[in-house]
Structure 1
Amino acid sequence: MYKAEILQKIKSVAEAHKNKVKDESFLNIECEDCKTFGHLNKAYHECKFYKAVSARDVGSSGKKRKQSAKTKEEKKQTTGDIRVILLLVPSNGKVAKGYTAQLEQFCKVFNFKKLGFRSVAELKTNTSVLFPNLIRSDGFTVDFLFSRKKKPKEDAIIDHHDLTLEGFSYAEITANYRPAFVDPGRKTVFTAAIGLETERHEIRRCSTKEYYHMTGSTSINSKSERKKANCTIKDIESNIPSCKTGSPEHYEIYTTYILQHLETLFSFYGSDMGETRFRLYQGSKRAADMMVNMLVDGGLKYDKELRKKEGKNR
């Protein structure tokens, strides 16, 4: 419901911007790139040389990075391709050629209905490959790699239109919304003032201690510390020399120490840590949802009626 209202608001603001008369002060400015008038350079979204920034453009030099032999070997061990799938499904031992034939072999092993795909045809699109016949695993979790779908044409109108305060009127805000003024802090993840009251308003906050408790990292770290205390790993980690040095002699001491205890460290942080990493990943996603619920609706922390219901259910 909230998403539909926000999208409708973005569309209305986009239409208002589209029908708005342009500022005439920019009409005489010539673009440095496309040599047309009305904007300064290609950073303007209506310039024909404009390019939207994506996550792939950040920190990329445009060159393929070299990978060590160790990295390549790890990818081979943790990536499931069609040759691995042949070991799980009866076949004549030949590798299927072609995307469709390989996809059908994947579907014989894995039930894609659990992921929302009812047939092999839904895994294929006319514009791009949705599932590239590739999975990865760290020994505990399994990742199915999918390509991102293109946005539908009806959502193209909301591109390059971010909601700002100028897109709302005071009467509209008081009638339909409940503003929250959020301030991040050092000891708290956020502190928010709820509402537009000038004399008295509700304060909601989530401390860093609460956040780590919601992620489950506090209990996981305590279990890990108890596990380290039962072996020599804690003494090894506490005596690791610093690698932050400009002296070659000191760095050689660090590398020598690490190489001496490499097998012990690998045995402790091996494939058995896959479940721990997965639980921490689940906890981080769960904590984010709980903080959003705390900010918007109050959650268990600020909703007394919800706390009573939770207590009765227990």
Structure 2
Amino acid sequence: MFLNGLYTDGYTCRALFARKVLLSPAEENIRLELDDLSSEEVNKHFRPCTVDPGRRDPFVSYQGGSDIRRLSSFEYYNMGGNITRMKEQQKHKHRLGIEKIETDIPSPKTASVEQFVLYITYMSQHMNTLFDFYNFETAKVEWLN
């Protein structure tokens, strides 16, 4: 249920929702602590590890002994599909000519009035093309990334 709350800072949007809390079955209320299990039970049913985010890799796990597992940034982004989505979007931009339009945009960061007028003129000429490309489909890709 929407709680009539919508907040934005110009870049992100936050909406307030609520839902009914369902009663949980009794077995979901069981809380086990580490002291409830013996070391044999822990070693038999679990694989304890320590996790350190490290400085280079998003995930580094020490499993004991010399068993260290890493997940590189490339693997992390590839597993999430970011790289594939970005490549597909670049191909789509190239096919529609958006890549060329974006490359040729003059810089708005200038002290020259003439240069800024050039920027405004260029953006006005290509505004509809850019709005047609950056619609809900591209917003979905950005959200997934």
Fold shared, TM-score > 0.5 on shorter chain: yes
For the residues of structure 2 that align with 1:218 and 1:233, how far apart are their CA atoms? 19
The answer for the alignment partner of 1:261 in structure 2 is 126
Partner of 2:76, secondary structure, is helix
Are 1:212 and 1:218, in contact at CA under 8 Å, matched by a contact in 2?
A: yes
Provide the residue aligned with 2:8 in structure 1: none
Aligned pairs, number = 116
Q: Which residue of 2 aligns with 1:113?
A: none
Partner of 1:236: 101
Matched, 1:211 2:80: no
Partner Cα separation in structure 2 for residue 273 and residue 216 of structure 1: 15
Q: Give the structure-1-normalised TM-score.
A: 0.31
Deviation at 1:247, TM superposition (A): 1.7
**What corresponds to 2:62 in structure 1?**
193
**2:53: which partner in 1?**
183
Q: What residue identity is the alignment partner of 1:235?
A: K
Cα RMSD after superposing both structures: 3.7
Q: Among residues 99, 111, 114, which one is paired with 1:247 in the alignment?
A: 111
TM-score (norm 2): 0.59
| In structure 1, C-alpha distance between the alignment counterparts of 2:67 and 2:124, rounded to whole Å | 56
Q: 1:146 aligns with which of 3, 6, 17?
A: 17
Partner secondary structure for residue 17 of structure 2: coil
Describe how 1:253-292 pairs up with structure 2 within 5 A: 253-273=118-138, 275-277=140-142, 280=144
Change (3 A) 1:194 1:256: farther
Larger Rg: 1
- Quick one: distance in 2 between partners of 1:185 and 1:218? 22
Shift of 1:190: 2.5
Work out whether residues 189 and 207 of structure 1, in 8 Å CA contact, stay in contact via their aligned partners in 2.
Answer: yes
Question: Percent sequence identity over matched residues?
Answer: 30
Question: Per-residue deviation at 1:185?
Answer: 2.6
Q: 1:193 to 1:241 in 2, by over 3 A?
A: farther
- Cα 1:262–1:132 change in 2 (3 A) is same
**Alignment check: 8 A CA contact 1:185 1:191 kept:** no
Kindly state the Cα deviation for residue 271 of structure 1 after the two structures are TM-superposed.
3.1
Instruction: Map Cα deviations across residues 124-153 of structure 1 (whole Å, 9 max, x no partner).
Output: xxxxxxx2377xxxxxxxxx9623779xxx
Report the CA distance between 1:205 and its aligned residue: 0.9
SS of 2:138's partner is helix
Question: Deviations 1:239-286 (Å, cap 9, x if unpaired)?
Answer: 12234x3525344433332222111100111234355356x2xxx6xx
- Say whether 1:202 aligns with 2:72: no
Q: 1:189 corresponds to which letter in structure 2? A: P
SS, match of residue 132 in structure 2:
helix
1:184-217 alpha-carbon deviations (Å, 9 max, x no partner): 334x22223233xxxx321111111111111112
Is 2:49–2:61's contact at 8 Å kept on the other side of the alignment?
no
* Structure number having the greater strand percentage: 2
3-state SS of paired residue (1:230):
helix
Residue type of the partner of 2:132?
Answer: S
